[in-house]
Amino acid sequence: MSTESATLKAYAAHPRTPEYAPLRFGTLTPALEQAPEDGTYYLNMGPQHPSMHGVLRLLLRLDGEKVVECEPVIGYSHRAHEKMAERGIFAQFLPNPSRMDYLGGMIYNVGYCQAVERAFSIEVPERAVVLRTLCCELNRISSHLLWFGTFLLDLGAFTPFLLAFQDREKILDILDSASGSRLTYCYANFGGLALDVPEDFAERTRQYIKEQRAAFHTYHELVTGNVIFRQRCEGVGIITQDTILSYGMTGPNARASGIAYDVRKAEPYGFYPEVEFDVPTRDEGDCLARYFVRFEEMEQSLRIVEQCLDRLPEGPVGPKKPLVRVKPKPGEYYHCVESPRGQFGMFIVADKDPEPWRIKARTPSFSNLSAMAEMLEGTMVADTIAILGSIDIVMPEIDR
């Protein structure tokens, strides 16, 4: 008998012990082994389902069409970003952050650079600071437009999806002209930007702003007053302020429940202290309130972009030579930014080595998704789609 065959035979004969048992999540998954005796039943939504925003599995216990209990199950697309960060120098991790949240990739890319720059006291030219802020706000609008289109698509409306993607393409073209990328960006690097913007950048951006403001009127005429849309969203998926605080939810979801927390205002960074903008809030905390908050945020982002264009200075956009091997200063550092879904933070532990000892990412979607178990209790199955869509999660930033 070959060594390989002997090994396989020994493994097959080995008794199953707890360490070889399948992974269990939460309280519902073990209960699947036996049918409920109270008339309820289990339903798997995902991980492969048209309305799932990524490979997410919702394990639902239902009484008819009423949700009794929900357990979000994650981990289907884990890629070990944080471990990769510890296996190379700081600059080698630059392409990774934008792949955590591929819809807010520019903001994640800039946020990581700002964390390293703050930790190691790296100066950034003023022109680069302004351009970073401008590009991040364009990226925020593109993310919200994709949310708007897919949210309405989940609810059965196809036309808004096409209109939103049509306008989103204009942003992607503008960002592509500056960075060379359309989705996952590595435009910012330590000390500034990889490239300056092209000569027609300002003109194209101003034209886009004009067209987008006109498109908002079309969106509202088509969707906001639609009776079916209002019935699917109004009073559905209410998140209380206590739930927001207990789960650490941030971003539009928190602001739609009356908590006016925005990192750009609470802990200003970049060019945000120099521009004027409002933090939209609502008190209802339902799907409709989250819809309104994101629309108002897009309008504020256009306002910020205009101010950045008006005050864009001349000068360099980065150091003369790329800062590839930054000199580490031992210590612990944390920096956070406002992503389209909430607070994104980078915690860095540095020692004397050129590689980070530890990098930990605080992403908003994990906290936002965790509240689903509480939000869905007592709702209908059809509401599950609307609630999940209104939260706007991106699975790769959870399974990182």
Q: Spell out the domain ranges in the chain.
A: 22-73, 81-398
Q: For residue 196, give the DSSP letter.
A: P
pLDDT at 122: 92
pTM: 0.90
CB 67 within 8 A of CB 379: yes
- In this predicted model, what pLDDT tens digit does every residue of 273-289 receive, in sequence order? 999 999 999 999 999 99
Based on the number of CB atoms within 10 Å of its own CB, is 124 exposed (0-12), middle (13-18) or buried (19 or more)? buried
Whole-angstrom distance, CA of residue 209 vs CA of residue 191: 29
Rg of the chain, C-alpha, whole Å: 23
- In this predicted model, what pLDDT tens digit does every residue of 342-381 receive, in sequence order? 999 999 999 888 889 999 999 999 999 999 888 888 899 9
pLDDT at 75: 87
Provide the phi-psi class of 7: left if phi over 0, else alpha when psi is between -120 and 50, else beta.
alpha
Q: What is the CATH number of domain 81-398?
A: 1.10.645.10
- In this predicted model, what pLDDT tens digit does every residue of 35-86 receive, in sequence order? 566 788 888 887 887 777 778 898 999 999 999 999 998 888 888 999 999 9
